Structure 1
Amino acid sequence: MNFHAVKAIYRFEMARAWRTVFQSIVAPVISTSLYFVVFGAAIGGRMAEVDGVSYGAFIVPGLMMLSILTQSVSNASFGIYFPRFSGTIYELLSAPVSAMEITLAYVGAAATKSIILGLIILATATLFVPLRIEHPFFMLLFLVLTATTFSLFGFIIGIWADGFEKLQIIPLLIITPLTFLGGSFYSIAMLPPFWQKVTLFNPVVYLISGFRWSFYGVSDVAIGISLGMTVVFMAVCLAGIWWIFRTGYRLKA
């Protein structure tokens, strides 16, 4: 393992985040705070508790997931796309750095940014609603697994995309809608039976359900299934990255 190479790439990506701190950290926190104000205060004041949890507190895990998913994908996809766009990817591929080390550095940096963002949003949420975390270990586990998994997914998107427009297609047209429809602002038990079954085909449901369970001990899906689905998606992303480096897809053109 070439730790010097991994550290160099990782530090470069983290330095880029601090140079664009408003875009990387401040803007997502402000937008999430607006969700707390609109949904938690305005709408939450007119709604009863959900599963014994005040509505404002109930939506916190979903809002955290919304930011973590979108930022993980965006950070990782841009991180690997820009070297392709500038042509420096060929210098990296010709250096004594393995595919695993490249992936570890870029995905690790993207996941770190998302985890920091998630913790800041969690701290911000305490200013708006009363929170409790019944299972802190599982909360951190879901936070790390989700950030890492979707950073891997974003890494794949960054290699697949052949333009800046395509970098935004998946987060805007797929990730965000799936998160909104995955129980961010409601329990799927509120839906009619037919739509409950349809919603279970949304993979984000399992992430939000497991993450919410770590806070309040309530969930729409069993915690074991939520963890299992997250690990399966991570394995699929790792397999996709292995295939990309094995075949040179969009890297050696």
Structure 2
Amino acid sequence: MNLKAVRTLYLAELARTKRTMLQSIVSPVISTSLYFVVFGAAIGTRISEVAGVSYGAFIVPGLIMLMLLTQSVATASFGIFFPRFSGAIYELLSAPVSYAEIVIGYVGAAATKAVALGLIALATASLFVPLEIAHPLWMLFFLVLTAVTFSLLGFIIGIWADGFEQLQLVPLLIITPLTFLGGTFYALEMLPPFWQAVTLFNPVVYLVSGFRWSFYGIGDVSLAASLGMIGVFLVIGIGLVGWIFKSGYRLKP
């Protein structure tokens, strides 16, 4: 493993992120605040508690997961798409750097930014509602593992996309709707039995549930199911990235 190459790619990506850090920090703070203002005023006054947790505190894990998924995908997809768009990817592929080192550098930087924004959102939420994290190590584990997994997905999207419009296609039309419908703002037990069964086909439910369990010890599905779903995403992501580099899909002219 060429750690110097990994470090160079990682720091280069972080340097690009730092140039938009103010925007990156202000956006999650404002978004999180607006969610609490809107949902706290519209729903919080009607629903005092969910599963023994105040409604404001109940939605915190879902909001953080929403930000984590979208930011991981967006950062990683743009990070690898821009070298493809500019042609710099061919210089990178011809350098004495392995495919694994390229992936670790880009995905690691995207995951780092996503985790940092998730923690900022958590700190912002603590200003609105009292938070207690029952399992802090599990919370960090879910945070990091989810960020890495969806940064891999973003890396794949960045290679697949032909233009900037396609970079937004999956986050806007798939990930964000699945997160909103994945128990971010409600517990599955609040739904009719039929829709509870349908919702279980939404993979984001398992991510939100596991992350919420790390806060309050409650979840819509078991911890094992949540870990299993993240593991499935991770294996699929690694498999697709391996196939992309092995086949040269959209990397070779």
Normalised by the shorter chain, which TM-score bucket? over 0.9
Give the TM-score taking structure 2 as reference length.
0.98
User: What do the CA deviations read for 1:139-184 (whole angstroms, capped 9, x no partner)?
Assistant: 0110011100000000000000010000000000000000000000
Give the Å deviation of 1:37: 1.4
Instruction: Give the aligned partner of residue 149 of structure 1.
Output: 149
User: Which residues of 2 match residues 164-203 of structure 1 at below 5 A?
Assistant: 164-203=164-203
User: Which residues of 2 match residues 13-28 of structure 1 at below 5 A?
Assistant: 13-28=13-28
Instruction: Give the aligned partner of residue 78 of structure 1.
Output: 78
**What value does the CA root-mean-square deviation take over the aligned residues?**
0.8
Structure 2 distance, partners of 1:96, 1:30, is 43
Structure 1 distance, partners of 2:197, 2:121, is 31
Structure 1 distance, partners of 2:25, 2:171, is 17
User: What do the CA deviations read for 1:105-155 (whole angstroms, capped 9, x no partner)?
Assistant: 000000000000001111111100010000111101100111000000000
Q: In the alignment, is the contact (CA less than 8 A) between 2:28 and 2:120 conserved in 1? A: no
Q: Which runs of 4+ in 1 moved over 2 A?
A: 22-25, 40-43
- 1:33 correspondence with 2:33: yes
Q: In the alignment, is the contact (CA less than 8 A) between 1:40 and 1:57 conserved in 2? A: no
Instruction: Give the aligned partner of residue 96 of structure 2.
Output: 96
Structure 2 distance, partners of 1:121, 1:28, is 6
User: Which residues of 2 match residues 3-152 of structure 1 at below 5 A?
Assistant: 3-152=3-152
- The one-letter amino acid of 2:160's match is W
- The one-letter amino acid of 1:246's match is K
User: What do the CA deviations read for 1:164-212 (whole angstroms, capped 9, x no partner)?
Assistant: 0000000000000000000000001111111111101100000000000
Give the Å deviation of 1:38: 1.1
Instruction: Give the aligned partner of residue 249 of structure 2.
Output: 249
Structure 1 distance, partners of 2:44, 2:146, is 27
Instruction: Give the aligned partner of residue 238 of structure 1.
Output: 238
How many matched pairs?
253
User: What do the CA deviations read for 1:3-44 (whole angstroms, capped 9, x no partner)?
Assistant: 111111111111111101133222122112210111134421
Give the TM-score taking structure 1 as reference length.
0.98
Percent identity, aligned pairs only?
72
Q: In the alignment, is the contact (CA less than 8 A) between 2:71 and 2:114 conserved in 1? A: yes
Structure 2 distance, partners of 1:125, 1:104, is 31
Any stretches of 5+ residues in structure 1 without a counterpart?
none
Structure 1 distance, partners of 2:29, 2:97, is 35
- The one-letter amino acid of 1:109's match is A
Structure 1 distance, partners of 2:206, 2:216, is 15
Structure 1 distance, partners of 2:216, 2:170, is 31
- The one-letter amino acid of 2:135's match is H
Any stretches of 5+ residues in structure 2 without a counterpart?
none
